[in-house]
Amino acid sequence: MNTPKEQGYRFPAEWERHSATWLSWPHKEASWPGKLESIYPVYAQFVRAVSEGETVCINVNDAMMRKHAEGYLVAAGVDLSKISFFLHPTNDAWCRDHGPAFLVNGKANNKAIVDWGYNAWGGKYPPYDLDDNIPTLIAKHYGIPCFYPNIIMEGGSVEFNGHGTVLTTKACLLNPNRNPHLTQNQIEKYLRDYYCIDQVLWLQEGIEGDDTDGHIDDLTRFVNEDTVVTIVADSASHPDYHVLKANVKALESMRLLNGKPLNIIELPMPGLLYEQGQILPCSYANFYISNAAVVVPIYEDAHDDKALEKLSACFKDRKVIGLNSKDIIWGFGSFHCLSQQEPE
């Protein structure tokens, strides 16, 4: 009875009720060179949208950073009574990947956290020691169990349907810069034991500009137990056209634990966006599902409205809100990458 799965835990789907959303306040200039201050107004709008339905917990480095954050939140109309600040120092803002993976086991208020190892996407952006410690700090604050698989795993690399299935990519999880000592079968066992699932479905490659080596949350997302949205490019000249077409074909061949095929809804790919000569990983799939709203990155692009329309049809019980991500995406991530849910 050592692993979370053996102890009866589960990892809820993102659309299940949250008690909170966790964020780490952005502060690393190198993540948004020349644009750090410009991301705060939209980031604060994101906090406001999420806080309308749940508490937002924000990791900050010190009292000065908290005051800085409060200024932007108040300017965006955020009710600060919905915000809880934690003096948990971080290196960067990507809480999806360094934040706590919360498990529940069906008993009232009985939660646990999985503290996966974190190495900033294969050691690309040191230092990352503070980020790697965040899940343990949160577990200590709550006084709840914390499990340590002792392998590298990032929240943006895995996507769950809440009924025993996880979707991921070989480009990321099998990359030798993560866990070179593990085989695919061994990684699947870790996913089963610590994310408490029964089935791993694999896609291949990620999109251009994605410095995470192919996170699933830029590609394909579950919107209910047996339905996914997946991004597609509308022109063969798009650099991601063939990769995304191959992903659709792979999804069509997959079967869930109950034997059913996936319902597949295609989301358009926004047009190419560059910054300082670099292609940016713009994707409408990097939305975040909160209690009150689904917050979708948009890019002042001709495909924005179509993407919002399709996602609105998927989430009829929530507002679907598009927020301009043209500055935030310069950090190579958006709203899903920045957030981590805490289930009820």
Mean pLDDT of 200-227: 97
Mean pLDDT of 102-107: 87
Domain assignment present for residue 7? The answer is no
- Note the pLDDT of residue 79: 98
- Note the pLDDT of residue 108: 53
CATH, residue 285? 3.75.10.10
The Cα–Cα gap between 194 and 190 comes to 6
Domain assignment present for residue 292? The answer is yes
Name the band, by pLDDT with cuts 50, 70 and 90, for residue 106.
Answer: confident
Residues with Cβ within 8 Å of 64's Cβ and at least 6 positions away in sequence, in order, are none
- For residue 81, the enclosing domain spans 18-343
Name the band, by pLDDT with cuts 50, 70 and 90, for residue 1.
Answer: low
Mean pLDDT of 90-98: 98
Other CB atoms within 10 Å distance of the CB of residue 312: 16
- Note the pLDDT of residue 212: 97
Domain assignment present for residue 5? The answer is no
Residues with Cβ within 8 Å of 11's Cβ and at least 6 positions away in sequence, in order, are 101, 102, 103, 160, 195, 196, 197
Mean pLDDT of 14-40: 97
Mean pLDDT of 139-167: 98
- Note the pLDDT of residue 290: 98
Domain assignment present for residue 4? The answer is no
Q: Which has the higher per-residue pLDDT, 128 or 107?
A: 128
Name the band, by pLDDT with cuts 50, 70 and 90, for residue 109.
Answer: low
pLDDT one-digit tens code per residue, 286-335 = 999 999 999 999 999 999 999 999 999 999 999 999 999 999 999 999 99
Tokens coding 114? 């999985």
* Strands in 25-100 per DSSP E: 55-60, 83-87
C-alpha pair distances (Å), 299 with each of 41, 115, 283, 304, 324 = 15, 33, 9, 7, 6
Name the band, by pLDDT with cuts 50, 70 and 90, for residue 167.
Answer: very high
Domain count, the chain: 1
Domain assignment present for residue 95? The answer is yes
Q: What percent of the chain has pLDDT over 90?
A: 98
CA 53-10-319 angle, 5° bins: 25
The Cα–Cα gap between 245 and 204 comes to 11
Domain assignment present for residue 8? The answer is no
- Report the predicted TM-score, pTM, of the whole model to 2 decimal places: 0.97
Element (H, E) at 313: helix 304-314
Name the band, by pLDDT with cuts 50, 70 and 90, for residue 126.
Answer: very high
pLDDT one-digit tens code per residue, 242-290 = 999 999 999 999 999 999 999 999 999 999 999 999 999 999 999 999 9
Domain assignment present for residue 281? The answer is yes
The Cα–Cα gap between 235 and 233 comes to 6
- Note the pLDDT of residue 154: 98
Residues with a known catalytic role: 337
Domain assignment present for residue 36? The answer is yes
